[in-house]
Structure 1
Amino acid sequence: MKQTRIANLRRELDAAEEDVWLRTLACNRPAFAKDVSLDEKCRAFEALERALRSETRQIAA
């Protein structure tokens, strides 16, 4: 059960990290690409932070 939870948290973390990178890359695209607002970046980084904290707590438990 614990291993399943850790695997789920790792997938959540990977998804949040991918979201952060995709949104960051979108900011470095040419002018015709969609701009990513600071609010969207903050939400993506907060999701990554939550996933990291959650995974750390689960591993420590």
Structure 2
Amino acid sequence: MPSRTELLVLGVRVAASTVWEILKEAGFGPASESAVTTWSGFLRSQADALLACDFFETVTLTGARL
């Protein structure tokens, strides 16, 4: 389902209350405060992937670093 912002980009104006009614009918409630992730929490949860992606380096046959 497109978000309200996506619809606005397409030139379709939708009231926030309309979006709320659609979400409520679909069974979605308000987001909880615990859904907010801090930067340090994000880094902790993604540490393995960050280490594997950001610090991988190789040298090619021409000596270039990738």
Q: TM-score, normalised by structure 2?
A: 0.27
Larger radius of gyration: 2
Point out the structure with the larger helix share.
1
**TM-score, normalised on structure 1?**
0.28
